[in-house]
Every structure is written in C-alpha cells, then in structure tokens.
Amino acid sequence: MPSLTADLVRLKVGVILTGGTPSVLAAKQATTDIPIVMATITDPVRSGIVASLARPGGNVTGFTVQNDELAGKLMQLLKEALPEVSRVAVLEPEGAGEQVRTSEVAARSLGVQLHVLKVTRVDDFGPAFARAKRSHVEALIVLGSPFFFAHRTRLAELAASHRLPTMYNTKDFVVGLGGLISYGPDFHDLFRRAAAYVDKILKGAKPGDLPIEQPSKFELVINLKTAKALGLTISPSLLQRADQVVE
C-alpha cells in the first residue's frame, strides 16, 4: 500500500478514497496535502488519524464503522440466535486487538467460553477452522476486517465445509455466499456517502471541516436455508427483527 499511495501522490490526484485502516494510514503517511476520504475505518481517533470526529482537521475525513463496539453486539446476537452455544471462537485479523477485548467482555457476560484464532495470511484460514473443530467450538465470529472481506468467499466455504455456524459483520457473507447470520452497517451505502464527500471536496470543501460520520443503519440478515442445512432453529423473535431473511 505505501508504494501504491506514493504512485497516487506522484500523479497529483485530486482526492484519495480509501477503505479500511491500513489504506488510510498508508495514504496519510504519503501526503498531508491531498484530501483523503475514508469510506470505512474502525476508530480514526484512537488510530491517531484525526483529532476528533466532529472536527477531524488536516486532510482526512470520511466514515467510521465502529467495529470495536460492533464486536460485542455480534457476540450478543449470536448467543441470542443459538442460546445453547457455550464455546465460541473469534477469527482475529491483524490489528483487531480492541475487537477481541470487546468480544471477551461480551463473552464473559454471556457465560461463553471464548477461543481466539489469530490469522494473518490466507494460508492460516484452513488451520484456524481445523483448530476450532478440535477445540469443540460450537460457533464462530468473523471480526470486521478488509482482509476478511476480500477473502469472504473462501471464509464462507470453510464455514460450510466445517459445518460451523458463523456470524459476520456484513451481509455480503450471508446473501449469495451462504453465511448463517450477519449484523452491521451497509458498506455499499457508506461508499455511496463517501462519494458525496468526494464531490464536496472537489467543489472546494476542506476535508478537515467535514465531520466524520457514523453508519445511519445497521442490518440484521439471517440465512434460513443455511440454518436448516446445519440443523439449527432460529428463534422466531430474532427472525421478526431481521432486516432480511434469505430462504
């Protein structure tokens, strides 16, 4: 990413649009002049990218997806969907320590034994799922990560082949790929909203004056076809609250 962002700076582009913390950090390191719009980032203040959400300052603005807080909600919804589950694993990407800590707090409050499976490469996926099965894990949570999103097809295939009920932070794993359940923001909507910020900047707005916004809607999506294939029954109350049910 540093070399790619350096190329963009040499091209003197008008705006750099990024998705995910690593690309934002690379862009910010490459330039303090070219405006940067973040379509998705977990915590830009804690990451030192901006001074505050209301007044980011500098050359960076955009949208935060609150993955750290969302991790706890994923655990709660998984337990609600599968109340008999007592051993849950989280698939941890690089740099997701805060998400893991939030998951640990939620797991303790719900009486769930948590297993953390850290992965840094695609080659780690298969062994991680195998470790989960050896540890008699009953369900899995895939934490939010651009890396995981890029390899969502492989992750969904592994969850299916290991017959492991899995929770995700975006419906892209569930709709079309056969994931069981997801809860999170509509990332497509965030990129559309980021396009509006790009438009404002190209018309003269300063990125540092544009507040960093949060998702306006979180979607719960459940794949009933997958639940039936796994021999699971999802509670009617949760199904009624779902924004989308895949049958």
Same domain, yes or no, for 73 and 141? yes
Q: Residue 56: which residues within 8 A CB-CB, separation 6 or more?
A: 44, 50, 207, 208, 210, 211, 212
Which tens digit of pLDDT belongs to each residue from 72-105?
A: 999 999 999 999 999 999 999 988 888 999 999 9
Residue 189 has pLDDT above 80, yes or no: yes
Place of tokens 């969904």: 156
| Structure confidence at residue 208 (pLDDT) | 93
Burial class (CB in 10 A: 0-12, 13-18, 19+), 68: buried
* 39, 147: one domain: no
Do residue 99 and residue 134 come from a single domain?
Answer: yes
Q: Which domain covers residue 25, as residue numbers?
A: 2-65+186-217
Based on the domain organization, do 22 and 53 belong to the same domain? yes
pTM above 0.85, yes or no: yes
Structural domains in the chain (count): 2
What are the helix (H) ranges across the chain? 2-11, 21-30, 67-81, 97-110, 125-134, 146-150, 152-161, 187-202, 224-229, 236-241
Do 14 and 133 lie in one domain? The reply is no
pLDDT interval class at 107 (50, 70, 90): very high
**pLDDT digits 0-9 by tens, 190-230:** 999 999 999 999 999 999 999 999 888 899 999 999 999 99
Q: Say whether both 231 and 122 belong to one domain.
A: yes
